[in-house]
Amino acid sequence: MAKESLFEGALRQFNKAADLLKLDGGMREVLSTHKRELTVHFPVKMDDGSVRVFTGYRFQHNITRGPAKGGIRYHPNVSEDEIKTLSFLMTWKCAVAGIPFGGSKGGIKVDPTELSESELERLSRRYFSEISIIVGPTEDVPAPDVNTNGKIMSWFLDTYSMNVGHSTLGIVTGKPLELGGSLGRSEATGRGVSIIANEASKYFLGDEIKGKTVAVQGFGNVGSFTALILEQTYGAKVVAISDITGGYYNPEGINVKEAFDYATANKSLEGYNKAQKITNEELLELDVDVLIPAALERAITAENADKVRAKIIVEAANGPTTPEADEILNSKGIKIVPDFLSNSGGVTVSYFEWVQGLYSYFWDLENVRSALEKIMKGAFKDSVDMLEEQKTDMRTASYMVAINKVATATRLRGIFP
């Protein structure tokens, strides 16, 4: 049997929710079909005078509720299937959070570490010019993703602005603060995950996360802020953290601020000696209240799902649980808060950045944090209400909330002409 593509796997989860919603055939086809799929092949002049042709993508899945929104990644493994799936998931992420965007994603098949700074700049500017026929501040708003950052967003902004003849702050998010970025963007995904973890603890375990044990896999942008905020703001006992160098476990609780400063100074947790060294596999199998995979996709698979002992999994990374593992965990009674709900804090603050850019009026940090908290709590409550009504799992309930919102918007608009 041919291996299921990423998109087929995502559609399977979508269809489970669509069945429960009794979505009719036409609506199901509209919501599972991409609006626009752009593939571009473009030349870039290399420093040695040679020319190389690269392939890039920008897919827009759905724009019924507002402009499309989604990151751009640079990676040798970027593929049509990956971009198609991630843009599809962005639609549901924006819908479940209730922010007025649809879903998109883009990428270039390239290993950026092989390029010089000036090659990277020419590649970025040419790619952005190529996709400018479908992106724009009211059409589709890109953001950083794997191997892209504020510097590349600045080149995108400049490229677009040069072509239209005026500075356009709303064209991308994830910009540096000096160029219209939002306060609170770098911590946003981790803060959102922490808010959701606390809500999940209250709902599934009957009490705040204060004093409860937590293990966090991955100590990059998302994992480090999640662990730090859970400890400092919510009083959770973070007993294990990890990164590519392995896991660090202390049953008495890790001093996350100290580990955060250590990782910032040393670029990784390698050599952190205030905890016992464990493997990343062992971290996933710890007997904790809450497990937060915040590193990579496919961390929990059919091979290790049976060994997971956490009571709740809050998915912070995109796609950390395979569909097969999902079934095993569900059958064990482990509660899983799905990625597109738990990690929607990032795109929510991106939405705030876009709004601030359009108005050229910028908010203070407290404003950003309180608006984020309100949205995350509301999104969690919507999913829980659906969970209680449908007696299903949390992933399906969240999908149902999201699909319902896009289906309702589609019905209200009607089919043109």
When the beta carbons of 130 and 243 are compared against ligand NAD, the nearer one is 243
Q: Out of 84, 105, 175, 311, which one is annotated catalytic?
A: 105
In terms of CB distance, is 21 or 314 closer to ligand NAD? 314
Closest approach of Cβ 22 to ligand NAD, in Å?
31
User: What is the β-pairing status of strands 246-249 and 276-278?
Assistant: antiparallel
CA distance 215 to 213: 7
| Closer of 124 and 280 to ligand NAD (Cβ) | 280
Distances in whole angstroms, Cα of residue 143 to Cα of each of 24, 73, 153, 297 = 34, 9, 7, 19
Query: What is d(CA 149, CA 144) in angstroms, rounded to the nearest whole number?
Result: 5
How far apart are alpha carbons 6 and 9 in whole angstroms? Answer: 5
Within 1-60, the residues that bind ligand NAD by CB under 6 A are none
Whole-angstrom distance, CA of residue 167 vs CA of residue 149: 19
Residue 111 burial by Cβ neighbours in a 10 Å radius (0-12, 13-18, 19+): exposed
Figure out which of the listed residues 17, 23, 290, 317 binds ligand NAD, where binding follows CB under 6 A. 317
Rounded Cα distance between 97 and 371, Å, is 12
Q: Does 85 help bind ligand NAD (rule: CB under 6 A)?
A: no
Quick note: the x/- pattern for ligand NAD over 141-180, rule CB under 6 A, is ----------------------------------------
Q: Which of residues 270-299 bind ligand NAD (CB under 6 A)?
A: 280, 294-297
Rounded Cα distance between 101 and 109, Å, is 26
* Residues of span 344-383 touching ligand NAD by CB under 6 A: 346
Q: Which string of x and - marks every residue 234-263 that binds ligand NAD (by CB under 6 A)?
A: --------xxx-------------------
> Toward ligand NAD, which CB reaches closer, 338 or 357?
338
Alpha carbons 404 and 412: distance in angstroms, whole number: 12
- Catalytic residue list contains 210: no
Query: How far is 103 from 35, CA to CA, in rounded Å?
Result: 10
Residues 182-221 that bind ligand NAD (CB under 6 A): 189, 217-221
Q: What residues make contact with ligand NAD under the rule CB under 6 A? A: 189, 217-223, 242-244, 280, 294-297, 316-318, 343, 346
Instruction: Give me the active site residues, please.
Output: 105
